[in-house]
Amino acid sequence: MNKFLAKYGKASIFTLIVILCMSFLIHLFSVSSGYLQSIDRQALDRAENYAGEQAVQLQEQFGALKMRADYCASEVSEAGSLEGAVERLRSTGSGMRVADGDKFVAILYTKDGAVYTPGGDSVTGYSELTDLAEAKRSAVSRLFQYDNANMVFGVFAPCNSAYVDGVVLLYMRTAVSLEALVQESGQYISSVQASEFVLLCKHDGIILEKIRVGSAVDPGFGSVTEGLFKQIITDGDTMSRITTALSTGKQQSAVVEVGSVQYALSVRPLGSGCGGLILVGLYEMTELYGSGRQVLNTIWGTVAFLSLMLLGFLAFAIVDRIRTNRKIKTLTTVDADLDCLTRSGFEAEAQSIVNRLKGTQFAIVMLRVNNFRYISEQFGDRQNRAVLRFLRNCCAQAMLVSETFAYAGDGHYLLLLHYREKKALTSRLDGLYRQVVRYKFPQDDEYKLHISYSIYEVGREEDRSVGQMIDKLNIVDAKPTFKTGAVSLEFYGDTLRDNYLKKAEIEGRMQRAFENNEFHIFYQPKYNLKRGGMDGSEILVRWFDTKIDRYRTPGEFLPIFEENGFINNLDRFVFYKACENAASTAKKGEPIYPFSVNVSRVTAIQPDFLEYYKRIKQKFGIRDRFITVEFTESFAYENYEYLSGVMRELHEAGFLCSLDDFGTGYSSFAALKVLDFDEIKIDKELLASGPHPDRDKLLLQSVIDMAHKLSPKITQEGVEDAETFRQMEEMGCDVIQGYYFSKPMKFSDYREFIQMNRGRL
């Protein structure tokens, strides 16, 4: 069977697609027979035909994705072991990333109804992937959010293998786009030009993308069932028939009237094999009237032309793939620009060396460029590549006999080095570090290039593959602190394994904890020194982990949530609960005070961040200038141009904005000149006593004075005693926050605190 697929597989796929195209043409002929029945029916049929023409373009895109999946499956099917299958997965995944760029997200495989990464990690929590894992033939999932970040399709192709049931390719939603409806001339195809607008929607009717040609009818945003359809459909039976099309996957059309103008509304599902996507089009009836026969001929000509184009493309793709297969091994194992191995090439070369020299001890070293992405953003991609070439030369010069190195991407180099004792290896790596730090940036001679190392000691009886060793190195979360003449080296060992297991436990528990309401919001009141009363509160989050029967410290879970993106869920939860509590308190006629919420960098860069926060504020009727959104100083420094636009929209929506943790080390006066903060919160670290108390006070006073010139309100965090309280009054601070005034407390205790102190607040 494998020999048959290898010899005739591509031709069989091509023949199958030709048959499908012919079947589509026959089906189109059958549908078109009703075009001559009446003028209205003819117009509706033409609208449906336009939708079908557009659907072909999008189905081509899905067809290309399925071809890629079939190719990957055929490659994996030829492997003689699970390791071989995984290696082929990685190789083809790298090829897909080169060919498709950012639109390609990941490659996975299925076995016995479960989904795994090429690294062997189980992928759970996605019902769409579970459905694909149970599929027996090629399939495409509906859109879903993957890794709390991207909206993706899963494209499944079965394998003829004892080790892998099938292959799943994950593609960004933008891999299928209405851009397919644009001709080479830059104009839309005729069916789009004849429309008022064309919408690409999810299976539930949410609008993903739109082309708006006319201006008479605004399709709006969000769901077509809640917005557009209610706007233009007045008949109950028509509404039922059109909305049913979304759930049944059957095409429907209807005549609707907007003002005095009649339109043809077409709803065209692309089918389960195309991710459940739906095309919605609106056409003015006068654009559709005409000879049904002429329309039929035009459609036939258009479809025939598109079919020929498709067949020509498939023929070209097959020929091109044959040529590409001859080059793919080189492309996946050698970085042509840097003239060194890639990770896959390193794995093969290093494994060969380790296997050949069984009695020799080695170490696999991962060299990381610190702040690698900052270099690209600050100095440009050209300088970024210059740094990589410099490091490539340094690594090449450091190699001895039976050693090798490679560039693994994202500022990481891999080195296989002889290793007799830790001291000698450390000395050798320190020498390489000293050579690297001499690099001079033409744009800024004060900026220094720094690196750090993660090291895996390869035992003489090592049973892990080189690829597995590299995966273990990725566990090392190196956050180096440099000292004069020293470099950070992290050895993979028991401590790092424990940290990794603790992180894995938290990540494994977080979603269930969220669903079980284990995250609680706490209020820490603030005191206004100028008014002599309460100045609202900061909303904090705490996790009562029922598994260990105690509250976890924020430092245990918040950094992990920042890293994996779950912090976005938590930030939104805190904001929602804070607004809900404020609204319920106001409804009871009890006094309420303003509050502030923290927004992480991950949350602030979400596409719907502003829309969500404005919508929840409006939902609970929170008045303007009542809520303060706190951004960290590090985020303001790294993204101040982006943050400036976000803050402008927040101010327009009635929010206040605060700079949190000011003075922790990332402050940038250039950023503060651009960002219009309503409040600056000085970090509690500036209150810590040093060896020179007078100098500490002078520094703190200077920071407060400077902050006053940048913001109308200054808050000092971490005020824990009466002496610090008096000091803040003397220094002209506006607001204090800390245990001296109040500790963080649950909502019920916070309400009791307000009632007990009502006369004094």
313-359 pLDDT, tens digit each: 766 766 666 666 666 666 678 888 899 999 999 999 999 998 898 87
Residue 33 has pLDDT above 60, yes or no: no
pLDDT at residue 469 greater than cutoff 90: no
Distance of alpha carbon 122 from alpha carbon 115, whole angstroms: 6
Q: What is the mean pLDDT of residues 110-119?
A: 92
Give the pLDDT score at 568: 95
Contact present, 514 and 541 (Cβ < 8 Å)? no
Regarding pTM above 0.85, the answer is no
Residue 167 has pLDDT above 70, yes or no: yes
List C-alpha distances in Å: 50 to 189, 302, 314. Answer: 10, 10, 24
Backbone angles phi, psi at 201, to 5 degrees: -120, 155
- Count, in order, helices (H) and strands (E) of the chain: 25, 28
Residues 130 and 180 reside in one and the same domain: yes
Mean pLDDT along residues 675-688:
88
Sheet holding 197-201, edge to edge: 207-212, 197-201, 278-284, 261-269, 252-258
Are 416 and 553 in a shared domain?
A: no
Whole-number Å distance between alpha carbons of 141 and 132? 7
Whether residues 580 and 649 share a domain: the answer is yes
309 and 390: one domain? no
Examine the fold and report which residue of 492, 527, 559 is the final residue of a domain before the chain moves on.
492
Domain boundary among 492, 519, 542: 492
User: pLDDT tens-digit profile of 224-250?
Assistant: 898 899 898 988 888 988 888 888 888
Among the residue ranges 14-23, 295-304, 396-405, 701-710, the one predicted with the least confidence is 295-304
Say if residue 439 is in the same domain as residue 506.
no
Residues 109 and 190 in one domain: yes
Do residues 153 and 138 share a domain? yes
The answer as to whether 389 is a domain residue is yes
What per-residue confidence (pLDDT) applies to 478? 43
For residue 471, the enclosing domain spans 337-492
Residue 760 lies in a domain: no
pLDDT digits (tens, 9 = 90+) for 135-151: 888 999 999 999 888 88
Same domain, 329 and 395: no
DSSP reduced 3-state for 151: strand
327 in the same domain as 223: yes
Whole-angstrom Cα distance, residue 615 to residue 608? 10
Number of domains in the chain: 3
| Same domain as 531, residue 388 | no
Write the CATH number for 564: 3.20.20.450
Strands 595-598 and 656-662, how do they pair?
unpaired
Quick one: pLDDT band at residue 35, thresholds 50, 70, 90?
very low
Q: Is position 75 within any domain?
A: yes
The DSSP secondary-structure symbol of 683 reads P
CB 528 within 8 A of CB 534: yes
Res. 484: pLDDT tops 50 = no
pLDDT for res 249: 80
Model pLDDT, residue 328: 62
What percent of the chain lies above the pLDDT cut of 90? 42
**CA gyration radius, the chain:** 31
Please compute the mean of the pLDDT values over residues 160-177 and round it to a whole number: 92
| Range name among 156-160, 272-276, 373-377, 497-501 with the lowest pLDDT average | 497-501
Tell me the one-letter amino acid at 324.
Answer: T
Least confident among 205-214, 281-290, 603-612: 281-290
Q: What angle do helix axes 343-356 and 466-473 make, rounded to 10 degrees?
A: 120
Predicted confidence at residue 618, as pLDDT, reads 97
Between 244 and 12, the more confident residue is 244
Of 461, 492, 523, the last residue of a domain is: 492
